[in-house]
Amino acid sequence: MRITAIDAIPYRIPYVKPLKFASGEVTHADHVLVRVHTAGGLVGHADAPPRPFTYGETQAGIVAVIDGIFAPQLVGLDADRRAVLHARMHRTVGNPAAKAAVDMAVWDVLTQAWGTSVNRALGGFTDRMRVCHMLGFDAPAAMAQEASAIRDRYGITTFKVKVGRRPIDLDVDVVRALRNTLGDKAELYIDGNRGWTASESLRALDMLADAGLTLAEELCPADDVLGRRRLVANCRIPFVGDESVTTPAEVTRELLGGGATAVSIKTARTGFTGSQEILDLARGLGVEVVMGNQIDGQLGTACTVAFGAAHAATSARAGELSNFLDMADDLLTEPLRIVDGELAVPSGPGIGVTVDPDKLAHYRLDG
């Protein structure tokens, strides 16, 4: 099944509720839809969300690297020769979201051809995951109100709270307000996106010792090597590496160097192939994983749940699968639905979803 063309289509959909966090802010989904066409007529889809504040990629850069480098390297190759495909893409350094989207679009088209779903091809452990909702910066009362509205409407009881502001009391007050509003049974964890120093992080964790947090993610930069090691050594809950662990080598370095004790897996940056490598590595090293969110739309979220539900370790805890709820619209013909706090893997072949041509025509930026 020969690859005949690869499209990189920039599009823009506004957010109803912009997401703010320590390393940046997202007001629009300025993403790139990647399509892989094959000789038999099947087409694979995936989404590339540029996150300049995390990986340096931009929307124009993703289009340029796919159009200018990856497509010429890959058109003509049989889609099932994924090892060749990866060897060619990895001649170019960086560009994780662009590479991940090509990888996932190829998996989409291959599994369609094989008459199965990505979820089943990867392991098919279960067909659904519990959902965690990510709460961006706001005042304590507003964040508590948002969380209770999400819980009441979608049955979600796990929340990742963005922290990393100064003074640290602001975020400490947010966590306290959430615990008071949601009660003891809600799961709460925090993500600093490198906003605090190691000492600020330790102070915040001390102040929140009785808040029942289950995870702490990227509270300070991994590049503050000794400070980070001291923080992680003194953290009583798993310390999740996110933007510091985007490749198997980084995972190994951070885990063995004491910079993290758990790993966030994001299909938006490692695709299905790289996410599988990171999952196997994390399992081999005996650390917990969480399915993270790259502030994905519905197509990206469908990829996360397809992978997360495919394995026991990735479906053990709630996955970050709901931030598409903050968007004004999306590209799919059938919207994803969160019911009783769970998201089911879409049931179609491949990734299981279909892009609506009218919506794409409306939101695409390339004419």
Distance CA 268, CA 265 (A): 9
Residues designated as active site:
162, 191, 217, 242, 266, 294
The least distance separating Mg ion from the CB of residue 187, rounded to whole angstroms, comes to 16
Enumerate residues 300-329 that contact Mg ion by CB under 5 A: none
304 lies in the binding site for ligand MUC (CB under 6 A): no
Distance CA 88, CA 212 (A): 46
**Taking a C-beta distance cutoff of 8 angstroms, is the pair 336, 152 a contact?**
no
Sign of CA dihedral 204, 210, 216, 222: positive
The least distance separating ligand MUC from the CB of residue 312, rounded to whole angstroms, comes to 22
φ and ψ of 216, to 5 deg: -130, 130
Distance CA 220, CA 32 (A): 30
Distance CA 32, CA 40 (A): 24
51 lies in the binding site for ligand MUC (CB under 6 A): yes
Structure tokens at 198: 């190691």
Structure tokens at 19: 């997401």
- Per-residue contact track with ligand MUC, 198 to 237, x per CB under 6 A? ----------------------------------------
The least distance separating ligand MUC from the CB of residue 263, rounded to whole angstroms, comes to 12
- Per-residue contact track with ligand MUC, 83 to 122, x per CB under 6 A? ----------------------------------------
Sign of CA dihedral 78, 81, 82, 84: negative
Q: What residue type is assigned to position 61 of the chain?
A: G
- Per-residue contact track with Mg ion, 222 to 251, x per CB under 5 A? --------------------x---------
Structure tokens at 177: 């307000």
Sign of CA dihedral 220, 179, 302, 22: negative
54 lies in the binding site for ligand MUC (CB under 6 A): yes
Helices (H), 123-247: 140-154, 168-182, 198-207, 225-233
194 lies in the binding site for ligand MUC (CB under 6 A): no
Question: Of 115-123, 172-180, 286-294, 344-352, which segment contacts ligand MUC by CB under 6 A?
Answer: 286-294
Crossing angle of helices 168-182 and 198-207, in 10° steps, is 30
191 lies in the binding site for Mg ion (CB under 5 A): yes
- Total number of residues that touch ligand MUC (CB under 6 A): 11
The least distance separating ligand MUC from the CB of residue 41, rounded to whole angstroms, comes to 35
Using the rule CB under 6 A, which residue among 103, 242, 326, 342 binds ligand MUC?
A: 242
Task: Between 8 and 263, name the residue whose CB sits nearer to Mg ion.
Answer: 263
292 lies in the binding site for ligand MUC (CB under 6 A): yes
215 in helix, strand or coil?
Answer: strand
295 lies in the binding site for ligand MUC (CB under 6 A): yes
- Per-residue contact track with ligand MUC, 11 to 50, x per CB under 6 A? ----------x-x---------------------------
Distance CA 273, CA 94 (A): 16
Contacts with ligand MUC, residue ranges (CB under 6 A): 21, 23, 51, 54, 191, 193, 242, 292-295
Contacts with Mg ion, residue ranges (CB under 5 A): 191, 217, 242
